[in-house]
Amino acid sequence: MLENNKLSTALLFAFLFVFGVKTVSATVYETVKGKQRLIGQPTVHKVVKGDYFQQLAEQYNVGFLALLAANPEHDPFLLKIGSEVVIPNQMLLPFISQEGIVINLPELRLYYFSPDENKVHVFPVGIGRQGLSTPLTSTVIGDKRKDPVWRPTQEMQDRHFAQHGKYLAKEVPAGPDNPFGKYALRLGTSEYLIHGTNKRFGIGMRASSGCIRMYDENIKWLFDNVPVNTKVRVINQPVKMSYENGDKQLIEIHQPLSDLEATKGNVILTSAMQRFVGTKREYWQKLLPIIEKPNGLVIDLAK
């Protein structure tokens, strides 16, 4: 499962503190509303000296855990020169109306559907860690803040005191020590934000206290381009399915989040999924290993 990944989070954080990488902006895809849900193209990166997973995740604007799930045979820190890394930048759009912001928690992605053109902007995001899940919701962007002040909640204060024996500062002003980074978008009137970060790790992972983290360049783009009152849906769709062009039968499976009631960490064989796959034995033979160990890649059952 994502939260039980064998990779040591502490090791990852230490590594990223020492070796810096530069982030990129959103990946933009053309869409055809109501006619297709497949976006992006399959990509394979050939490893050169100096490559490592976090650098590749930022280079291609994909989540770290998404890259890890798509390439379980690779050591994320010691990539063999000349080997091939699958970049998971082909995907099916979530099964939901294509408007505003959609955050699909199991895939750790944020989609923004442009209101005036058939384009979707896709960003990797960090979400709430186990026990502090980002809540499912349908809301709007309530307000936008530049250089937000960070004020830890009483729950955060109590948790930090229990772990470290001291309390956090009551507030942290804008600057390099502010965990919100330079920009924040509030979900409705709640305490949950889509915000930047003063640290690169945690994007494309479950690492926050429930808010949605983005790279600074990405949150700046949203801040500049997404107006207040834009619709926001936070959803839980670990399995996405689509018939495309009459000949493609596509499915994409992500590891469900174990602390969300609907999935409890296991891929559920719903009636809709069983109807979609059908009764062909070869389809199930192709799919069952992915159900057992989801890789987040688009699979064409008919190919």
Per residue, the 3-state secondary structure of 253-293, as one string, reads ECCCCCCCCCCCCCCCCCHHHHHHHCCCHHHHHHHHHHHHC
Q: Can you give the pLDDT at residue 261?
A: 55
The pLDDT score that the predictor gives to residue 130 is 80
Of 97, 154, 124, 158, nearest to 27 (Cα)? 124
Exactly one of 45, 74, 164, 195 is catalytic; which is it? 195
Cβ count near 219 (within 10 Å): 26
Residue 74: active-site member? no
Specify the amino acid at residue 58: E
Axis crossing angle, helix 9-18 with helix 53-60, rounded to the nearest 10: 70
The residues facing 7 across adjacent strands are none
- Residue at 221: amino acid letter: W
pLDDT at residue 15, rounded to an integer: 42
Q: What angle do CA 108, 9, 91 make, to 5 degrees?
A: 20
Nearest CA-CA partner of 213 in 204, 221, 222: 204
Q: Give pLDDT tens digits along the chain (303 positions).
A: 444 444 444 444 444 434 444 445 568 999 887 678 999 998 999 999 999 999 999 999 999 999 999 999 999 989 999 999 999 999 999 999 999 999 999 999 999 999 989 999 999 999 998 878 899 999 999 999 999 887 777 677 777 678 778 777 677 777 777 778 899 999 999 999 999 988 777 799 988 888 999 998 999 999 999 999 999 999 999 999 999 987 899 999 999 987 765 555 678 889 999 999 999 999 999 999 999 999 999 999 988
Measured in degrees and rounded to the nearest 5, phi and psi for residue 104 equal: -100, 105
In the numeric block, the tokens 């159900």 are attached to: 291
Q: Is position 45 annotated as part of the catalytic site?
A: no
| pLDDT value, residue 25 | 59
Report how far residue 35's alpha carbon sits from residue 33's, in angstroms, rounded to the nearest whole number: 6
Strand 38-39 versus strand 119-124 pairing type: unpaired
Helix (H, G, I), strand (E, B) or coil at 86: strand
Beta bridge partners of 84: 46
Distance CA 211, CA 133 (A): 9
Name the H helices within the chain.
9-18, 53-60, 64-70, 154-164, 216-225, 271-277, 281-292
- Tokens representing 234 are 């936070």
Residue 80 DSSP code? P
The Cα 206–Cα 16 span in angstroms is 16
Which candidate in 45, 121, 164, 211 is catalytic? 211
